[in-house]
Structures are given as C-alpha cells and as structure tokens.
A and B are shown apart, each in its own frame.
Chain A
Amino acid sequence: MPTPVSISLKPPMGGTPDYRFSERHARILDAFADTLIPAGEGFPAPSEVEISGFIARYVTPAGMEPKWYPRLAAEQIGARLDSLADALLDPDPRRGYEAVRAFESSEADAFAVLRELVYFGYYSHAAVVRAINLQLAAGQDYRQTPQPAGYLEGLEAWDQESLAKVRGTYLRTEEVVPLAFQPTFAQKGLSA
C-alpha cells in the first residue's frame, strides 16, 4: 500500500478538544464576554453559558499552525488575555469596559475575531435559544439547530388573489433590436 501524499484535511466540525484555557484565562475571557453581552431581560450572561469552553475549541494549540478560521493561536490569545487581565478582573466594571473599548480601537481586526467568537458561542447555546423563544415575539419558534425539525410547519402559503394580479411581459427573441431602435417598455405601456 503506497503512502498517501495528499490527505484531505478539513477543519473538524465543532473545533477540537485539544486546548483548554487556564482557570485564570477562562475568568478573564468570561469577563470580556460578559462586557460584550451584559446579562438581562431574561438573557443569561455569556459566563453562565460556558463561553470560554466554546471558544477554547477553536483555539489552535501551541506548536500547530492556525490554519482555519478563526486562526487563533494559543500564544496569541493567551497574551491578549494577560494584557486585559487587570482591567477585566477589577471589581469596578467600568475599568473592564474602557479596556475593551481601547482594545477595539487599537486593534480592530483582532477585536472583531474575538467578538465574533463570543457572538457565535453565546447565540448557539441552548439556554440563550430558550431565552429567544421566551422573550422575543419573533423568536418563539427558533431552534438551536436547523435540522432535523426544520420550519415547514405553519409556514404561510401564497396569496392566490395576489398571484392573479401579477402583470408583466418580456421581449421575445425576434423583438430584440439595437437599443437605439427599441421602444422602451414605458413607451409600449407595459410593465417588465
């Protein structure tokens, strides 16, 4: 059996369990996420829905190439969290808020990636989906995953009266002439 020289390596769905935040880093990350999405109005805080565990699954461990989205290396996020530690772990939440603002303005791209991960992780958690169901009129039927149930049940049907009123026309092949010689639809008294 010849040795494979090209293996189709795809990003593992759901990330990998290869990386774990230290307890301290997890606390800083929780505080960061709680600053982005404050709890309230029936919605939990990100720290209550295991946000740091979600993000850890998308961190590339040390010594490996961060090949796929979000291309987040362990060393990189570790250093980032260390830099935010004092402010985010301060009992005064205003310090954390100002530190996150400074991060956003000074390193917009790095901030955007972390914000995306927080939003992806938070809004995919079952407890948050449950809050959407309970708190939002438009979200009563929303599900955590699209399959297997789908949303066909109760989907409104076409209004046959409206369909009967639709007007329109089109150019037949033999009607296509250079634009200079072609009457506009308005001139012909027709819709599209």
Chain B
Amino acid sequence: MNRIDEADVLVIGAGAGGGAVAKRLSDDGIKVICLEQGDWLHPMDRPHMSREWELEKRRAWSHDPNVRQGGEDYPSSGANPPLMYNAVGGSAQIYAGAWPRFKPVDFRRGTEHGLEGTIDWPISYEDLEPYYAINDAEIGVARQVGDPGNPLRAEGWGPAMAPGKVGLRMSKAFEKLGWHWWPADHALLTRPKDGRLACNACGPCLAGCPRHSIATPDVTYWPKALRNGVDLRTRARVQEITTAGGKATGAIYIDRDTGARHQVKAKIVVVCANGVGTPRLLLMSASAQHPDGLANSNGLVGKHLMYHAWAFEDFWFDGPTEGFKGPEAAVLYSQEFYHSDPSRGFVNGFSIQVGRSSGAAHAALGANSGHTAPWGPRHREFFNQHFGNHLLVYIQGEDLPVATNRVTLDTSITDSDGLPGVHVNYQLHENDQRLLTFGRERAREAAAASGGLIDASSSGNGGVDFPQPGWHLMGTCRMGSTPENSTTNKFNQTWDVPNLFIADGSSLPTSAAVNPTSTLQAVAVRCAEYIKANHAEILSQHTTPVDQTEPVG
C-alpha cells in the first residue's frame, strides 16, 4: 500500500448522495475523505455553445457509459444498460433538475398492495419532510407553491420556470379535461444564487448546465464541503471496502493516474455510488467473513432494481409550440392517475409529465419516438410541418420492485483498472406494462384535448432510446424495517455492518411515479444528520438498531 490516510467518515462517490453527506457531516467538523472515480467537469466541457450540440448528446454526452467509454466509467452487459455519469456531481451531471417529491402513499405501498417485492418504507413522508426542506434550501429550487395534489411545501429560492407555449397549451388541456395539473418544481435557479447564474431557458439540460443554474452537487454541496475541509479525491476508484471484526475499516482505492493502490482508514463508511455502483462495490468487497459480498447475508444486494416504467408520446400540432425554448425537464405534470385503482387492471399509478422538444436535428430524427423525417422529396414538407410544432408527453410510472431485476458482477468485462463490470437484468412487470398502456391512452386524450393535433408517435412501453424502459437507478440496497426484507435500517445503516451506511438511489424501497433525486438527496441528508447526532454510539454498536429517534424533529 503506497499511502494510508485516516478519516472520521469515508464517503464513496461524490454525486447527489455523497455530496450531501460530505457537506452536512463537515458542517459539524467531522473529518471526511471522499473518493470519486470521475473528474471535475468544466462548463466549457459542455456542448451548449457548439454547433454539434445535438450530435454530441449521442457521443461525449451520451448517458450510457458503454457508449462514452470514459476511463472513469465501468461497462455493463444486459439488454437495458444503466444510464449514469461518473464525475463530481455524479449522474446529476446529466439530469434536468426535475424536482418532485414522493407522495405520502409512496411510503406505504407495502400496506396498500405488497405485490412482488413491494414493502413499506421504514419511514413516512412526514419523517422525511424536514430533510426535503433542508435539502431544498441548500441547493435552491424553483417552485410554484400551492399544488392541491401534494402536501404543502415552502417557497422556493425562485419562482417556477415560465411555461412558454408548450406549458400553456397543455395546462389548458388538463383544465378542459378537469384533471389535476401543476407547474413542475425544478432544481434550477430562476434567480442567481452563490455565484450561479439564473436559467436562461436554453434547452439541453440533459447535457448539463454550463451556467450552473441546475443544482448539480459540484456547484451546490461541494464548494461548501471543500470550504469545510472535506478531502475530495478525484480519479480515485474504490476497489474494495475493507472490514475487520464485523466493522468496516475503510477502503482500498486505485489512483487512476498512476495505478497505485492506496488505503483510507475510517471509523464510518458511507457508500453513495448509485443504484448500480453501490451493489457493484459491495459485491466486489466479498471476503471470507462476507463470502456473498458485503452487507449481503440475506442476498438482497443488487435485487429489486427499479428503473421506472416510462413511455414517450410525441405530439405535433397545427401551430407553433416553440418547444425548443425552455428547460428540458417537464414544465408541468398531472397526477390525476397517481393512486392505485385496481379497476384499471393494475396497481400503483403514474405522472403525466409535459416536456419540451429539442433542436432541428432532433426534430428531423424523429423526436423521442423514432418518427424520423423521410428522406427524399417528402423530407421538406415533413420537417416544415413538424419542427417547432411539437411537444412531448411522458408517462412516468411506478414500477414494482422485482427480485429478478437485478445487478450482478460480470467478470467477463472490466473497467480501465481491470475491475469487473456489471450485468443488469431488467424487465418490466406485466402490471407495469398495463399501467403504461393505460397511461399512453391518457396522454393521447390530453394532447387531443389541447386542439389542433396533426400527428402523434410513441416509443411504446419503452422509454428513452426504445426499447429501453426508464433509467433511474433505485432499490438495489433498500432500507427497511427488518434485516429480512432490506439491506439497511431506516437510517441507512447496513444490517450486517453497523458502521457501514448506504445513502443513494439504491436506498429507496419503492420508485414512486416521480423523479427520485430530491428524495434520495433528502434521505442522504437525513442519514448525515443521524450520523452527526449518534456518532459515538454508532462506533460502539455491534448490531444495527431496528429503531432510533429522528435527529431532526
């Protein structure tokens, strides 16, 4: 071992979970080292000022590590590859800042139906609500308060983003149908904050934000964490989490520049490597004491992967929508069909989200559903009818946690340091297929109600880059109420190793029918507050407690 360092807490992964944990712990003077296999990104790395910005979304800014093949990435096998980004800021570097919260019912789906691997969360919406609020204040959100379909929230840092023609058109459609709708919350700035610029509605958020308007952890939590003294090491790829005597003792990592192995010793380890990276690391950390992988004595690590059920519905109208204007995240949503109604033939529900378009090449190449402009004599007529007259409706459904939807190691493929890749098996459950079929019909109903519909196209029950379903990474090391049904307790503390915590998308027991980052980050904040409040007690524990008091009331 070339170098050995010590910390109070080792955080693995500098994304949405890791950034929040590192900052909140260091606020109280806790010595934190964070290991991140990726790099910092610079605003000029983004394609937004390049003519090739649309093409580059399939190349340097592809969401699939198998396509990017960066040195910081690791490969995957399986029909539906996990989408992610490895950098300071994690996969939030390629998110659009959609910022809905889970609803109270989402925490009790086990009580409601318990289908497949569905369990109740070990906490309630009310337990998590204070941490949602802390997190929102840390990062700065844009919000229109007053949604009658959700619990009351505090004002955001700024107002909701303006809807443009797309948002106005579909808000009128939902109004006409008598359906619920509301302007979407966004983790982006509509007024400046901490040196970050307000959003100027440029569009391609999913390739990141060069203005730092979107609340990615590298511009929200990390500057504060570094000022607090956190030792963030980039290009530092963790090979294994080390253990001794039933406790985590730290990790061995590879310096990606030199190939040298180093060790960090820590009293507490928090893994925040995302819903695929975290199970990968736990499985790679198998040892004589933990032969099936760390924290995996019940065999649940990597199981119950949820991507979301997802369908893209493209619609074109007889007048301008100017869908190229505005952020890429949904401008508004309807949760008219959010709650379970078995008479529909499925449990759980979905959000109807209204999104915008993209650029001219995107229009010619078929928008989100492959409705490509024909080549030859009919090309001009098709393009001229479709460009700027488009909007996107997507059905985001809660998918059931299914045990066979699973992350495992694949030793036949390796990353640039020779560590194993992952195999991901994911197939939509029949319940979720029925949910999407019903939801797609509702999307068409809403688009028709807006008037002037001239063309429509669907990704089917597929999602992005059909036949890929959704892509959020959730559930693979879930929190729960017993050591039999989960990997961690309600404070993210693994049942097998009391000083080993997991705080990222893998912690979520259910996926809800909304984007997960606000929730996983609130869970991470809560985890950090628990560690701060119980630091000494955690170090003396030999078994993981089932119940503890909330650190923030």
Contact = CB atoms under 8 A, between A and B. Distances in A.
A36 B379 contact: yes
Q: For the complex, would chain A's binding face be called helix, strand, loop or mixed by DSSP majority? A: loop
B478 to A, nearest CB: 19
Report, nearest first, the 9 A-B pairs whose CB atoms are least far apart. Answer: A138-B388, A150-B200, A168-B149, A138-B320, A151-B325, A146-B202, A168-B180, A123-B360, A36-B375
A165 B175 contact: yes
A35 B334 CA distance: 43
A156 B168 contact: yes
Nearest to A180: B342
30 contacts: A2-B257, A2-B259, A5-B259, A7-B71, A8-B235, A9-B70, A10-B68, A11-B56, A11-B68, A12-B60, A13-B56, A38-B380, A124-B361, A138-B319, A144-B51, A145-B49, A146-B49, A146-B202, A147-B48, A150-B199, A151-B200, A152-B201, A158-B160, A170-B151, A171-B103, A171-B104, A171-B339, A179-B340, A184-B343, A192-B337
B338 interface: yes
A7 B149 CA distance: 49
A40 to B, nearest CB: 6
Interface stretch (B105-113, B496-504, B521-529): B105-113
Interface residues of B, number: 107
Contact of A155 (B69, B112, B201, B361): B201
Chain A: interface residue count, which band?
A: 35 or more
B60 A10 contact: yes
A59 interface: no
Interface stretch (B5-13, B203-211, B305-313): B203-211
Q: For the complex, would chain B's binding face be called helix, strand, loop or mixed by DSSP majority? A: loop
Contacts of A125: 51
A163 B162 contact: no
B71 A124 contact: no
B163 A157 contact: yes
Nearest to B351: A192
Interface string A12-33: 1111000000000000000000
B347 interface: yes
A105 interface: no
B52 interface: yes
Nearest to B2: A2
Interface stretch (B28-36, B140-148, B214-222, B459-467): B140-148
A124 B51 contact: yes
Contacts of B340: 179, 182
B2 to A, nearest CB: 10
A166 interface: yes
B258 A8 contact: no
A179 to B, nearest CB: 5
B54 A120 contact: yes
A69 B50 contact: no
B148 A166 contact: yes
Contact of B380 (A40, A163, A167): A40
Nearest to B381: A41
Interface string A104-133: 000000000001110110111110110010
Contacts of A171: 103-105, 339
B410 interface: no
Contacts of A117: 55
B341 interface: yes
A151 B320 CA distance: 15
B258 A5 contact: yes
Interface string B237-256: 00000000000000000001
B477 to A, nearest CB: 24
B259 A38 contact: no
Contacts of A186: 341
B257 A6 contact: yes
A18 to B, nearest CB: 16
Given A14-B52, A145-B50, A152-B199, A173 B108 contact: yes
B379 A37 contact: yes
A170 B335 CA distance: 9
A6 B417 CA distance: 7
Given A132-B360, A168-B149, A192-B335, A177 B112 contact: yes
Given A100-B375, A155-B164, A166-B180, A13 B343 contact: no
Interface string A172-192: 110011110010111000011
